[in-house]
Structure formats: structure tokens, C-alpha cells
Amino acid sequence: MELSDRILNVEASQTMAINDKANLLRAQGKNIIGFNLGEPDFDTPEFIKMKAIEGMEKGYTSYTNVSGLLQLREEICNKYKREYNLLYSPEQVIVSNGAKQILYNVLQTIINPGDEVIIIAPYWVSYPEMIKLAGGKPVVVHTKEENDLKAKVQDIKSKISKKVKAIILNSPGNPGGGVYTKNQLSEISNLVVDNNLLMISDEIYEKFQFNDNKYISIATLGEQIKARTIVVNAMSKTYAMTGWRIGFAAGPENIIRKMGIIQGHSTSNANSIAQYASWKGLANRKLDLEIKRRADEYKERCDIMINKINKIPLLNAVKPVGAFYVFLNIKETYNLKYQDYLINDSLSFAKALLEGAGVAVVPGIAFGMDGYVRLTFASSREDINVGLERIERFIKKISV
Ligand SMILES: Cc1ncc(COP(=O)(O)O)c(C=O)c1O
């Protein structure tokens, strides 16, 4: 059977090989420290779990509106008004199965064959493949450590052509950990407005920012950019609800409505019980304190991880300002050998580290930037300490 060009054009996640191997080693009884997962090690707050039970008991068990329960969309509007003074109506909001489906829907809505979308490397793994699935072409802007793994506005500008439809911005970034400043955001916003583009602002890590600045959503920088921005968010990371699959977006009504048409013919609505619990969770101000507590804990774990990395020869990392990942530069280990593995890229480093130290990390090539691996510090302090000690021993072993 001949498969579609669409699927043949898309790559499977390069992170799976390491994950499969890690699971195999675990099944053989080996102790593996997993720094590879992109999810909080905290559990969903008890309040939200209880509200899911209440939702079932109250009969929130049927299809909802395709775009989500009205009360949840109203609560999302309240969040944006309260936190950013951004005004949206429920018709400008859609709820989907995670931020992933939001991004998928928006790209399906705006891309024609051959259209280009600008993404910034290191980028979240699914952006390029989702763009390709929609028939578009990802155009990659590269970044440097000296710019904190954030794109220079000039570099974004040089990629803009008539074919470019949109820019995806992810601040705080996965995996780079960069947070764009107000000046940088306003320069990018001028580019978007002047070139008639759409801004897809992936703000899923908004609550995990480690400096004292207030988080800035690009949509707050004026009516013109707001009218061209799809703000993407989710319950997943903020509320440690990755398995519940609730993401949401706010933006121009015509695009949001069309995203709903795609969703209506693919998955209908997001899970009704998870929507009910999310509505109650977003409305509960006491949970803000819990989220802040978790953000403070991530900040401390980030410090622990970076301090340990700074003491290990051959490894370097830019200190993240947000999200919960360290993007570790491993280029100085190139040409060293662990048993029969010659380390010459991020994949060979990740394989050698897994075999030699029992530590699972994600190769940077999955994020469009070889020479790096991603470690998450949404892991327990104990795992961070033990995992980094193992990495240090491994580096010393292969350096002799
Ligand atoms: C930057 C970024 N965007 C989107 C997603 C998808 O989030 P969700 O689990 O809500 O689909 C992730 C998850 O890892 C992410 O890191």
C-alpha cells in the first residue's frame, strides 16, 4: 500500500529511541535516572482532582461545545483580563486536547501548500513536523548561547519573505529556557505587524520564570499585535496536568472559529470532565499560591543543576530564565569514546550516557540543534544530585 506523501514527509520523534532504550534498561532491573521527560514531577493539585469527581457526579459526562464549556472559556477570559488586562470574549477562545492540538489546529487553519512558518532553534520538537503535516515549510532561525539561545530580531527579519505566514515564538522556551524581554518582544511584534504575519505565541511555561520580572505576553503590546496573535496555553505544565489533555488559545475570532471547525471534524471537544476540573481550577485563587511555590522550587532545582554542571569539565550550559530544562553544550566531548561509541553528535552522546551512566537525556538534534542535550529539572532534588554525580563520573571516565 502506498502511503501518503504527507506522512512520508514527517519524521518520528527522535526522542523515542532513547526513551525506548531507557525503558528496556529499566525492565532489565537497571536504575535509570530520567532527565528526558518534559513534565512536572509534581502531581495535579488535590482540589482539581476532587473537582473532576464532582464534575462526573454533576453529569458533565457528555459532549460539550466543540470549542469547550462556556464556563471554562469565560474563566480563561477572566484569567487574561486579571493577569494581563487582555480582553477576549468566549468566542475568541478555544479549548483543545492539550496545547499540542491547539498548535495543530492553528497550523491547519492558516497554511496553504508551500507557505512558510518561522521557528526558532532550539525549537519544541513538534513545531516543524506539524508545519509539514499542514503542507507548509518550517524556516529555521538559529540562535547562539551568547544570546541566551534567543533569536536576534535581525535574524528573524532576514527570513521574512512573501511566503512566510507566521512566526512561532515560545517564551519561556523549551528547551533553551530563554525569556524574551519587552524590547525584544516589541521589535518582533513590529516585524509581525509590518509584514502582515500571524504571531503564534506559545506561552505554556508562562508561570515558570525565574527572574523578578513580570511575565510579558506579546499580545499585550498593543491592539495591532493582539489582533494578529494566537496566545497558546494549557493546564498541562502550570497545573501538572499533562495527562488530562487540556490546552487553550485566545485570539482573533475568525481564526479561532475555523480552528473549531477542524477540531469538530477530528476530535470534537476535549474531555468534558477535565474541562470541568480546569474551569474550577482556573477560578481558584488559592491555587495561584501553590503554583508560585512550585515555580520557586523549580528555580532552586535549576540552581542546583547549573551549579553542579559548572563543576563538570567539558560541559557548559546557559542558565535558563524559565521553563524547566537545561540545554547542555556537549561539544567538548566530541571525539571521545565510551566503549564502542565514538561521541560525535548529540545522539551518540545520549546513547553513551544512558549505557555508561544510567542517565536518560534528549539529544539536541530533536530540537534542531546538535551539539547539545536537554535535561529536565522537573525531577526530584535527589534525582538531580545523583544524576549529575553520575554524569560527572562518566565524563571523567571517558576523558582519561
Ligand atoms: C513548548 C511546548 N509547547 C507545547 C507543548 C504541548 O503541550 P500539551 O501537553 O498541553 O499538549 C509542550 C509540551 O511539552 C511544549 O513544551
The tens digit of pLDDT for each residue in 50-99 reads 999 999 999 999 999 999 999 999 999 999 999 999 999 999 999 999 99
Average pLDDT, the chain: 96
Total domain count, the chain:
2
Based on the domain organization, do 68 and 200 belong to the same domain? yes
Ligand 1 centroid vs 392 CA: distance in angstroms?
Answer: 30
Based on the domain organization, do 225 and 276 belong to the same domain? yes
For ligand 1, say whether the CB of 206 is within 6 Å of any of its atoms: no
The pairs formed by 337-345 with CB atoms below 8 angstroms and a separation of 24 or more are: 337/398, 338/394, 338/397, 338/398, 343/398, 345/370, 345/371
For ligand 1, say whether the CB of 234 is within 6 Å of any of its atoms: yes
The tens digit of pLDDT for each residue in 228-271 reads 999 999 999 999 999 999 999 999 999 999 999 999 999 999 99
The tens digit of pLDDT for each residue in 100-114 reads 999 999 999 999 999
Which atom of ligand 1 is least distant from the CA of 242?
9
Q: Which of 284, 301, 330 is the last residue of a domain?
A: 284
Q: Which helix (H) or strand (E) holds 201?
A: strand 198-202
Please give the pLDDT value at position 45. Answer: 98
Which atom of ligand 1 is least distant from the CA of 103?
4
| Cα 329 to Cα 335: distance, rounded to the nearest angstrom | 15
For ligand 1, say whether the CB of 202 is within 6 Å of any of its atoms: yes
For ligand 1, say whether the CB of 321 is within 6 Å of any of its atoms: no
Residue 15 has pLDDT above 70, yes or no: no
Based on the domain organization, do 378 and 237 belong to the same domain? no
Based on the domain organization, do 355 and 229 belong to the same domain? no
21's CB contacts (< 8 A; 6+ apart) are: 351, 354, 360
- Mean pLDDT of all residues in 117-141: 97
Choice among 99-108, 336-345, 369-378, 389-398 with the minimum mean pLDDT: 336-345
Residues 311-345 as b or e (16 or more Cβ within 10 Å = b): ebeebebbebbbbbbbbbbbbebeebebeebebeb
Based on the domain organization, do 74 and 112 belong to the same domain? yes
**Residue 135 domain boundaries:** 48-284
Q: Which of 261, 284, 307 is the last residue of a domain?
A: 284
The more confidently predicted of residues 143 and 37 is 143
Q: Look up the CATH number of the domain holding residue 172.
A: 3.40.640.10
Based on the domain organization, do 230 and 296 belong to the same domain? no
Mutate which of 13, 100, 126, 248 for ligand 1 pocket (most atoms within 8 A of beta carbon): 100
Based on the domain organization, do 250 and 391 belong to the same domain? no
Based on the domain organization, do 155 and 185 belong to the same domain? yes
Based on the domain organization, do 78 and 155 belong to the same domain? yes
Q: Which of 284, 305, 322 is the last residue of a domain?
A: 284
Residue with cell 509590518: 194
- Mean pLDDT of all residues in 268-297: 98
Ligand 1 centroid vs 279 CA: distance in angstroms?
Answer: 20
